[in-house]
Amino acid sequence: DEVERLFKAMDGLGTDEQTIIDVIVTKKNQQRQEIRQKYKERYNKDVMLDLKSELSGDLQEVILGLMMTPSEYDVDCLHEAMSGMRTDESMLIDILATRTPERNILKLYYLVVEYKKDLEKHIKTETSGDFKELLLELVKGQRPQGDKVDDKITDDEAKKLNKNGKGKFDKKHFKSIFTKYNNKQVPAIFEVYKKISDKDVLELIEENMKGDVKNGYICLVKSYEDPVDYYVERLHGAFDGIGTNDSRLIRILVSRSEIDLAGIKEKYKESYGKSLNEEIKSECSGDYKTALLLLVGEE
């Protein structure tokens, strides 16, 4: 029934955007993948191509993003970040710094017909210096999983980072902390470092780094310490100032919709005194606004 509704919404003259929104936004990703498959079986057409031809602008970006698998969506965003005249460093770090390492992103990036590029090579051509090296480490997907914290590792790494209060900042060692340990061990190391050095790790980054690599490490630290807080801050930045950063807004809401969006909504209102729903109503319009409000859900 849903596949038929979707087909009829795009068949003939005009497009029924509301039906497309109702069918797609209300589903979970697994159900959307079933819709993609059944649409192909029933009509011998690619629903993604049909949606792309029938929709445009921000609404198209929301709907296509929701219809992709999480890995496909990450790949699409990575490619977008490195396309055009300027590389979007913040989008690169948002994705690579906060995702569970998955080697299939490397493989999928190459397999997508439109790209046919090696992700590591693409990063090398679009970034440079320490920032490039950080991204290349993150994209390898070798970071351990789990939540086990080894107290000896915590103490040893914190002391090494502090160098007993002496010595030059070791960029190589600092980078290795993020790639060798899981996302519970890393904050534990920084907590002990703060106790023995009386300095927050963000201060250490500010003092020793600059530019994209500094911003990258700040994103990493914040995403490790509290992912919900991190996304709340990123969302507020998307709404703040003149105009809305719609790409960032869409990317966060789509990618976190089945992970921690409820927590993000709650923390956003607590932090800024305004709900996500209120922000969307005041910053977005039309079918695009309708889709985002449905995705975010009632207050």
78: closest CA among 51, 52, 62, 97?
A: 97
pLDDT digit string (tens) for 242-254?
Answer: 888 999 999 999 9
Distance from chain centroid for Cα 5: 31
- Quick one: pLDDT band at residue 290, thresholds 50, 70, 90? very high
Residue-level pLDDT at 163:
80
Which tens digits make up the pLDDT trace of 214-225? 988 998 898 888
pLDDT the model gives residue 107: 73
Rounded to whole angstroms, the Cα distance separating 219 from 98 reads: 9
Predicted confidence band at 264 (pLDDT cuts at 50, 70, 90)?
Answer: very high
pLDDT score of 47 more than 60: yes
What is the 3 state secondary structure string of 130-186? HHHHHHHHHHCCCCCCCCCCCHHHHHHHHHHHHHHHCCCCCHHHHHHHHHHCCCCHH
Domains of the chain in sequence order = 2-55 (1.10.220.10), 70-136 (1.10.220.10), 151-225 (1.10.220.10), 227-296 (1.10.220.10)
Encode pLDDT of 67-121 as tens digits.
Answer: 999 989 988 888 888 887 778 887 888 888 766 655 567 777 777 646 567 888 8
Assign residue 220 a region: left if phi > 0, alpha if psi is -120 to 50, beta otherwise? alpha
Checking 4-8 for CB contacts under 8 A at 24+ apart, the result is 4/42, 6/35, 6/39, 6/47, 7/39, 7/42, 7/43
The reported pLDDT for the residue numbered 166 is 66
pLDDT at 139: 81
- Per-residue pLDDT at 238 exceeds 60: yes
Among candidates 254, 255, 245, 252, which has minimal Cα distance to 268? 252
**Residue pLDDT, tens place only, 132-175:** 988 888 887 667 777 899 999 999 999 998 885 666 788 889 98
What percent of the chain has a predicted confidence (pLDDT) above 90? 55
pLDDT at 3: 95
Q: Is the pLDDT of residue 45 over 90?
A: yes
Q: Are 261 and 251 in contact (CB under 8 A)?
A: no
Instruction: Enter the pTM of the model.
Output: 0.88
3-state helix, strand, coil in the chain (%, to 5): 75, 0, 25
Q: Which residue has the higher pLDDT, 265 or 121?
A: 265
With CA atoms as reference, report the closest residue to 51 among 42, 41, 60: 60
Q: What is the pLDDT of residue 234?
A: 92
Residue 121's pLDDT is 86
